[in-house]
Every structure is written in C-alpha cells, then in structure tokens.
Amino acid sequence: MISRLLPPVAAAAVSALGMTLSVRVIGMEALRPLWQAGHPLIYGVWHARILMVPWLNARIRQRQAARRVTVLASRSRDGRLMAEFAQRFGLAVVRGSSSRGGLEALRDLMRALRAGDDVAMVPDGPRGPACRLQGGIVALAAATGAPIVPLGVAASPARRIGSWDRFMVPLPFGRCGVAFGGLVEVKRHDDREEARARVERALTEATTAADALVGARR
C-alpha cells in the first residue's frame, strides 16, 4: 500500500518544490528547429541529477514546441516506482536495463524514436559507477541515427544524499540550472569506445555548465 502511494506523493512534492525554484535554461535555442522539424533526439542525463527532470520536461513542453519523451526505467522495484513517477508528468516509459530486458528495451526505444518521440536515458544508471557512461545510449544512437543531447541539471542550495551517486535533492526557494549541450552524433560504424568517451565527456561538460549557472561546485 505504501509503495503505491509513493509515486503520486513524490510527484506532488516535486511539483510543489519546482514552483519555488528559479529556473535558468541555456542551449535550448539550437533544439527548437529540430523539435519543429520532427527530428528525433536522445537525451542523456546523469542519475544523480534526475529528480527534477520530469517536472522540467513538463514545464518546457508546455512553453515550447517540444515533443513527447519516452524514458527508460529498470525492471527493479525502484524502477517501477520511477516509471510511475515519470508517467505522472506525461512521460512514456520503457522498462529494461543492461541486466534485465536490455535488448527488448533497446528495440522499444528504437520504435519510439521512429514513431516521432524523443527518448531520454540515464547512462550511468541504475547502479553506476556514477558519471561513467554505459554503452546503451551509444548503441541506440548508432542504430537509429538520432543525435544525443547531453543534458546537465544542477541546483543550489541542494542536499546530496548518501547513495552510490550522491543523489541531488534541491532545497526550496533555490536556483535550478538546465544546460542542453551540443548534439553528439554516433555513426553506425564509429568505434564504440571512442564514441562512449565522447558522449561521456559531453555530458560531463553539460553538467559542469549547469553547475555554473547556479554557482555550485561539483
């Protein structure tokens, strides 16, 4: 019973928290023509920074011509809770991870991109190591030709909890920074390790840019 209440309670709490934040966004101008043209995109964000992302997505979609986003959530119990939480902000969800249902999930994400959705992935989740990019996002980009958009999210002041990734929880009435990095393209025949390092570097740079927006130190 308690677990069934967690997603709606968490969604309400995040929405209430978001209303208190001063949000600054950079890098979105380059994405508007792609949204308007229906060009599919793959967003990547580090696991530690995902708490406000569903709320931020709903806020941006309401104000811009952005498309629906499909997200990947693991098949664990925590993944189920995260999926139900994300759905309350209008996100579609595919379930799977590198250890359970990964190939099926990759196919579902490919179908979502081809149907006109954007896709969001957490490439160091669900178990880490933190800020170390796993190969799924690179494989998806190579298979579909959709470019990767590194997404950095930061908040100050914020609390970092004692999880494997030092998960970030913004404090009320603070600042929130969102940085969309430059597109990273992965060709079908690119060296996967080189592409993985390139995407990881771009995502780290976008996160650093988001930290700078709010004056936070990593």
Question: For the whole model, what pTM was predicted?
Answer: 0.92
Per DSSP, the residues of 119-184 read: EEE-TTTTT--TT---THHHHHHHHH-PPEEEEEEEEEEEEE-SSTT--EEEEEEEEEEEEE---B
What pLDDT is recorded for position 217? 67
Cα gap 170→154, rounded to integer Å = 8
Q: Please, is 23 exposed, middle or buried when counting C-beta atoms within 10 Å of its C-beta (0-12, 13-18, 19+)? A: middle
pLDDT tens-digit series, residues 72-108: 887 777 778 888 999 999 999 988 765 555 678 888 9
pLDDT > 70? residue 152: yes
With H, G, I as helix, E, B as strand and everything else as coil, classify residue 65: coil
CA–CA gap between residue 120 and residue 151 (Å, rounded): 10
pLDDT digits (tens, 9 = 90+) for 158-212: 999 999 999 999 999 999 999 999 999 999 999 999 999 999 999 999 999 999 9
Please give the pLDDT value at position 82. Answer: 87
DSSP letter for 47, please.
G
For 23-80, the pLDDT digits (tens) are 999 999 999 899 888 899 999 999 999 999 999 999 987 776 667 899 988 777 777 8
**Lookup: tokens for 18:** 């978001």
137: tokens are 């996002």
pLDDT at position 1? 56
CA distance 166 to 80: 21
Confidence at residue 79, expressed as pLDDT on a 0 to 100 scale: 77
Please tell me the class of the 2-214 domain: alpha beta
What backbone torsions phi and psi does residue 71 show, to the nearest 5 degrees?
A: -115, 155
CA-to-CA dists, residue 94 to 72, 86, 128, 141, 209, angstroms: 5, 11, 19, 16, 29
